Chain A
Amino acid sequence: MARIWIIAKMSLLENSRKQVFHVLCLLMLAVIASSTLLSIFTEGVQIKILKDLCMTCILFGGAALAIALGATGIPNDVESRTIHPIVARPVTRAQYVVGKFLGTLITVAMGIGAMSIAFGMLIYMYQHTFDSFLLMAVLFTLLEVALITAIATAISTFATPAVTTVITFMIYLAGTIKIGYIGGLIEQSTNVLSKGIFLLIYHALPNLECFNLKTALVHHDAIPAAYLGQVATYGICYTAFVLVAGAAYFASREV
């Protein structure tokens, strides 16, 4: 664990110095701050739009950070050969991959934290109360971003940063429409073979929509604790699955 933490700290330092991290954080903070310009609308719609826009900003900003940082971590180390002194030490490849993932995740969590504080302050300014469900919604957004970070890290073990970015972004988009679109394809298909292929794609793709608590936050809907528990377990399981697969491939690869 100590070795993983050392690699994570190195990765955190490296990522927090990258320009893309600062630019994306500032851009998303600017969008969140500019949401106040929506004050021309009636109050009910204004708060709805504010919450919708800010939560999407946090999610999209977090996902963009996760893809940008996760896609470059390992390939940059391999390219610049800084990986050689690391793997020459008593550190397994799996520990290296998990350390890189954790470092990237902590960096992204810092960005999400800053955006969430700005969002919480805006909500307090308008509602004069702190919405406790906001914390829950942000935590589940972080879990979704952790999953995207794991996918980007796993793909980066065998692909270039550009290819990793494109594939992860496509998986992210497909994951957001999975239930509605691919679920519908499974229901409609009559052929056993095509149904089997769709089922495999359905389960292989991450179900990102279940982490979305934005509607519940906007409309104050009650969400059962059991459902939240299942979603959290699913997120952790998927992240572990992707990381194990990525680490297994990286362990057998020449660097």
Chain B
Amino acid sequence: MVETNRQNREGETVKGKLHIIAAVVILFAGMCIIENSAVRSKPVDPADNVSSVYKLVGEFRSVFANLLWIKVDCYHHEFIQNDPDWTHNKDLLGLFKMITALDPRFVEAYSTGTYVLMDGYKDLPKALAYLREGLAANPRSYELNELATVLYAGKLHQPSRALAYAKRAVACAGDDYNRGIAKRTLRSVERMIREENAAKNSRHSR
């Protein structure tokens, strides 16, 4: 009798353990399925790049980018005490690139870095490449679209290529002040295209 009771108790214990193991396995399997489904349905972020720095610092990446930006601000103010043209501060370019590698949504770093490449280094292809990288991560940024317009129309003298950016800058402007600037830039680009076409026509007619 005692032996039967002991065997029953042991049987129940084994049964209980099996139930727990089954519960753990079912929860783990369910968790894996839900996780895979959540990862697949994650909204696509154009800023999700493949830089190893971006991957390695995980959730803290934007904080590191912000701290670097604060440092950039200190260096910038030290620099303009001696030279008012801040685009000559070429040493900051490395920091801008690190900031945008950590946080590709940092529009201000992209725009300031592009100005340094454009006016400081006078390297328009590199400035354009950097700006395009910024636009790929932030396609709806007013600042970057406006800067692309200035770069194409003002520096590269290609107003027809600047037109799309100028129109997008008007559409993305967040307030009336910026919208006013974007509209004036768009009008200038349209005027440049008209003048360019008129010059072409006059050349053809001659």
- Chain A residues close to B by CB (< 8 Å): 38, 40-42, 44-45, 48-49, 52-53, 56, 59, 173, 176-177, 179-181, 184, 203, 207-210, 212, 214-215, 218-219, 221-224, 226-227, 230-231, 233-234, 237-238, 240-241, 244-245, 248
> Which single residue of chain A is at the shortest CB-CB distance from B42?
A227
B24:A241 contact, CB within 8 angstroms: yes
B43 x A234 contact (CB < 8 A): no
Binary interface encoding of chain B residues 22-60 relative to chain A, with 1 for a CB under 8 A from any of its CBs, else 0: 011001101110110111011101010000001111111
List of B residues within 8 angstroms of A218 by Cβ: 62, 105
B108 sits at the interface (CB 8 A): yes
Instruction: Kindly state whether residue B20 has any CB partner on chain A within 8 Å.
Output: yes
**Residues B30 and A52 in contact, CB atoms below 8 Å apart:** no
**A44 neighbours in B (Cβ, 8 Å):** 108
A215: chain B residues at CB < 8 Å are: 45, 47, 62, 105
B32 and chain A: residue at smallest CB distance: A203
Whether A219 and B105, one on each chain, are in contact in the complex, defined by CB atoms closer than 8 angstroms, is yes
| Nearest CB of B to A74, in Å | 18
B181 interface residue per 8 A CB criterion: no
Quick check: A40 and B73 within 8 Å, CB to CB? yes
Give the chain B neighbours of A48 by CB distance below 8 A. 66
In the complex, the answer to whether A184 meets B105 with C-beta atoms within 8 Å is no
Q: Can you list 11 A-B contacts with CB-CB less than 8 angstroms, sorted by A residue number?
A: A45-B108, A52-B66, A180-B58, A181-B55, A203-B35, A207-B39, A210-B35, A214-B62, A219-B105, A230-B34, A241-B27
Known: A59-B59, A177-B56, A214-B59. 13 other contacts (CB 8 A): A48-B66, A180-B54, A180-B55, A184-B55, A210-B38, A210-B39, A215-B47, A215-B62, A226-B41, A234-B31, A237-B31, A245-B24, A248-B20
Please give, as numbers and ranges, the residues of chain A lying within 8 Å of B23 by CB-CB distance: 244
Alpha-carbon distance between A42 and B49 when the two chains are bound, in angstroms: 27
Find the B residue at minimum CB distance from A243: B27
| SS class, residues of chain A in contact with chain B | helix
Is there contact, CB below 8 Å, between B41 and A224?
A: yes
B24: contacting residue among A180, A233, A248, CB under 8 A: A248
Which residue, B32, B38, B56, B63, has most C-beta atoms of chain A within 10 A? B38
Closest to A175 in B: B58
- In the bound assembly, the distance between CA atoms of A219 and B104 in angstroms comes to 12
Which residues from chain A contact B105 at a C-beta distance below 8 Å? Answer: 215, 218-219
A223 touching B62, Cβ below 8 Å: no
B121 touches A (CB below 8 Å): no
Question: Contact flags (1/0) for B88-117 with A, using CB distance below 8 Å?
Answer: 000000000000000001001000000000
B86 lies within 8 A of chain A by Cβ: no
